[in-house]
Structure 1
Amino acid sequence: MIDLTIFILTLISIFPSFTSQKPYCNQTCPGSILNNIPYPFGFSSGCEIRLNCTTNSTVVIGEFAVQKLTQDDLLVSLPAKCGREVKTLHHLYGENYAPTSDNAFLMENCTEKVLTCSVPESTIQPNLQVIYCGGQEDVYSNVSCYSGDRNDMFLGYDNVTKTGCRFLLSGVVVKIVGAKPAVSLNVQVVKLGWWLRGRCRCSDDAICTEFVSPVDGGGAYRCGCKDGYDGDGYIASSGCRKAKPVVSSHCNTLKFMFGHCKGSERAGVLVGIIAIGAALISSISLMYCYTRRRTNANSRGKSNRRFCKAKGITIPIYSYKEIQNATNGFSDKQKLGTGGYGTVYKGKIGKGEWVAIKRIKHQYGDDIDQVMNEIILLSSVNHPNLVRLLGCSFDKNDQILIYEFMPNGTLSEHLQRERGSGLPWPVRLTIAIEIAQGIACLHSAMNPPIYHRDVKSCNILLDYNFKTKVADFGLSRLGITDSSHISTAPRGTPGYLDPQYHQNFHLTDKSDVYSFGVVMVEIITALKAVDFSRRHSEVNLASLAVDRIGKGNLDEIIDPFLKPIEDVSTLNSIRKVAEVAFRCLAHDSDMRPPMTEVANELEHIKASNFAT
């Protein structure tokens, strides 16, 4: 009986510990590209801010996919779509999150034009020129741009919906420095800020920022650790921990030698000196090993220092072992292809989805510069037709980049019949349009612009539905806003290289236009850009195409897969695309059209020849 009483009392004493446990919060979405979901986000009812994990491993808010999630904000995909009701925006306003004032919403079918954007019209317009709603020739005339007061933290839902606009076309996020747009301009996305409801529950060494919720007017707050502390600042999470202190001596060796320490201090220092002497002796015995390993250590240290200097980069960093496991030790069976700058493997990081892993070759003096250049540039842009960078690794003196996996390979492989028997013309035209849209974003939506410098068919990736992504930004360069060109040694691929750039070392946006012109000719002809098996005068595809198109003999070089062309509208479409390519291949760069115009013309060709 006594034992039973003790047992019952024990249960009563420990019961509060069970009832006081925090509800379980599942922070894992198996297969998702989003790693390390931070507090307070998760996918179960026990999480303070709940997200959804779909069956295809996509993290979503409402119907919109989450592209990036940090302790500061969320980046949500808002692809351009005609006829999307403005009220769809309510999915982006939750109890704990809302669009910030960094956003601008592009809307159509407005009762009157509402142009209050903090983004200049000259920056927005090139992106809208490649979007068509309702078959209009000038969609921009029917699109309004709304953004709120930048002194406010968030955009109010009522303010957006009261603009008199019926449809939500897309979104733009711009980073502002002073009164002018800075380098980073993300299109077709929305930035959400988040908060916790109620009164502050921050750790002692954190700063609490209180404000009014833009959704329901209730109390809201965010935590952040004070200077000198690490962590997220929340009591329910990691809180704040003091940064590792710098150790300093109370009485240094000089004071000991000249007798300025007290007896107890001198004794302590004496013990310290003996310990230091022993350590020095041990260090000498290790010097040989250190010398042998110094070269590799310096190389790795250089990579890491360079990486750390690239501020603002938030992509995940993986260990060399994780990359080895993902590629089965860089197995040939998982090799996707080898190019001039590295080998690409198919792999899985952990239990996630397939990714493409590029291992950079070490045959150039500026390997690290090219890798860092690609990371910086891909981290600053966001466009559905530009490949996404998912992570990197800098261990074992290797530079490795991880991208989204594109299962349908490259455009070149399809044109050369290395995959499939050939592509129908509507698919080829859509691919050309999407390439043009991606490059147009680099040239016109970025400030300063980005010049790709290596546009070619084997750098055009395709997914299961032949959606197109422009890849390989290792040679890309930032342009100069107030200059027509930048002077740099020609780099690129023979057959695609702008002849004027090769001649005068002047890199401009028109250099990419020329390269894209070659890709368009490849799409029409399925011929290689350079082929020494052709006659001497026809080795270079650009020269061959300019000759045949200029003489009106395009039929001689059209891909036989597309013949016979019984549909007049298809033949007209091919000829119009060839005319655009002809203009892009003009020797004088001033005669070439800008990429926004090219994308616009290709969209017109598609709209006038095919029912979409």
Structure 2
Amino acid sequence: MVMISHKLMSLILIIIGGTFFRRVSSSETCNGICGRLTLPYPFGFSPACPIRFHCSEVDQAAKIGGFSVQNVTENSILVGLPHNCSRKIEDMTPLFASQNFAPTENSFLMDKCMYKTNGCSINQGFLENTLKLQSCGSAGNISCFSLYTNSKFFSMKDLRNSSCSLLFSSIAFGSVGVNAGVALEFERVQLGWWLKGDCKNKPCAENANCTQVDTPDGNAGHRCSCIEGYHGDGYINPCLRLKVRG
């Protein structure tokens, strides 16, 4: 993982490439192991896993479609989207699945656009130096596409309606704390995820909180997480109290 600091409006953290999975033991019913990689439940590679990825035999990596999953957290999936001079918008379809979505904290770098897109106010020279846009011979044509609506989610329809025919790469936005600025993670898409159903039926394990999740289709969704001071997946395994050694 390469970390570069750059001052743009405020402190910005830029992260390019890299993989940083938590190694947590998989459950007995959901196979979370792909080579030397182990994913926490509810992620995994077998039909019993609520969030199922493809295990690539070539590089022993987790994949959604042809895109590498670089990290999973309690509320997001980070997917690599290396710049590609000829990537068609329809190639993005696997990232807009039934249990994951791209929130509007992402921006997409588009190419071959008929009309000007809604930009994300990032200096073109900065993008050229960061992503080496000149490698495509089209540095002046890359256009930044963001959503400025009440919607919380991107959709494939939004990308198709951008008037662009190619999707060069993406930028995932996130906060690095109060007064610390914004994190820009280039060549990545941050996906939200959920399990189906609401919290009324108490779907989480003992000592875990249930959080309702807004979903693009309006159906009920939830996520589980251990309460403070406890550790576990919060779903099928109980959250156990962390022992503090004196």
User: Which TM-score bucket, shorter chain as reference?
Assistant: 0.7 to 0.9
The answer to whether structure 1 residue 77 and structure 2 residue 80 are counterparts is: yes
Contact between 1:113 and 1:143, CA under 8 Å: does it hold in 2?
no
Distance 1:128 1:23, change over 3 A: closer
Distance 1:187 1:219, change over 3 A: same
Q: 2: distance between equivalents of 1:176 and 1:246? A: 32
TM-score using structure 1 length: 0.32
**Partner secondary structure for residue 70 of structure 2:** strand
Aligned pairs for 1:245-324 (under 5 A) are: none
**Partner secondary structure for residue 228 of structure 2:** coil
Shift of 1:217: 2.8
Shift of 1:100: 3.0
**Partner secondary structure for residue 34 of structure 2:** coil
Shift of 1:160: 2.5
Q: 2: distance between equivalents of 1:167 and 1:127? A: 19
Q: 2: distance between equivalents of 1:157 and 1:179? A: 34
In structure 2, the residue matched to 1:93 is 96
Shift of 1:58: 2.6
Contact between 1:99 and 1:155, CA under 8 Å: does it hold in 2?
yes
Aligned pairs for 1:141-180 (under 5 A) are: 141-149=140-148, 153-176=152-175
Contact between 1:154 and 1:193, CA under 8 Å: does it hold in 2?
no
Backbone CA RMSD of aligned residues? 3.1
In structure 2, the residue matched to 1:111 is 114
Distance 1:221 1:102, change over 3 A: same
Matched to 1:163, the amino acid is: S
In structure 2, the residue matched to 1:55 is 57
**Partner secondary structure for residue 189 of structure 2:** strand
Q: 2: distance between equivalents of 1:239 and 1:152? A: 35
Contact between 2:118 and 2:147, CA under 8 Å: does it hold in 1?
no
Q: 2: distance between equivalents of 1:102 and 1:163? A: 17
Q: 1: distance between equivalents of 2:163 and 2:80? A: 24
Give the number of equivalent residue pairs.
Answer: 215
Matched to 1:141, the amino acid is: G
Q: 1: distance between equivalents of 2:119 and 2:206? A: 42
Distance 1:180 1:156, change over 3 A: farther
Contact between 1:96 and 1:195, CA under 8 Å: does it hold in 2?
yes
Deviations 1:505-528 (A, max 9, x none): xxxxxxxxxxxxxxxxxxxxxxxx
Q: 1: distance between equivalents of 2:52 and 2:240? A: 27
Contact between 1:105 and 1:171, CA under 8 Å: does it hold in 2?
yes
Unaligned runs of 5+ in 2: 1-26
Distance 1:209 1:148, change over 3 A: farther
In structure 1, the residue matched to 2:40 is 38
In structure 1, the residue matched to 2:22 is none
Q: Percent of aligned positions with the same letter in both sequences? A: 35
Higher helix proportion (structure 1 or 2): 1
Contact between 1:196 and 1:220, CA under 8 Å: does it hold in 2?
yes
Q: 2: distance between equivalents of 1:245 and 1:153? A: 39
**Partner secondary structure for residue 193 of structure 1:** strand
Distance 1:116 1:181, change over 3 A: farther
Shift of 1:106: 0.4
In structure 1, the residue matched to 2:7 is none
**Partner secondary structure for residue 91 of structure 2:** helix
Unaligned runs of 5+ in 1: 1-21, 248-612
Q: Which has the higher contact order (CA 8 A, sep 6+)?
A: 2
Q: 2: distance between equivalents of 1:74 and 1:37? A: 12
Contact between 2:212 and 2:222, CA under 8 Å: does it hold in 1?
yes
Shift of 1:118: 6.3
Distance 1:96 1:118, change over 3 A: farther
**Partner secondary structure for residue 131 of structure 1:** helix
Shift of 1:92: 0.6
In our comparison, the structure showing a higher alpha carbon Rg is 1
Q: 1: distance between equivalents of 2:223 and 2:188? A: 23
Q: 1: distance between equivalents of 2:128 and 2:245? A: 53
Higher strand proportion (structure 1 or 2): 2
Contact between 2:74 and 2:225, CA under 8 Å: does it hold in 1?
no
**Partner secondary structure for residue 39 of structure 1:** coil
**Partner secondary structure for residue 157 of structure 2:** helix
Shift of 1:96: 1.5
In structure 1, the residue matched to 2:221 is 220
Matched to 1:212, the amino acid is: D
Matched to 1:168, the amino acid is: L
Shift of 1:175: 2.9
Distance 1:154 1:206, change over 3 A: farther
In structure 1, the residue matched to 2:211 is 209
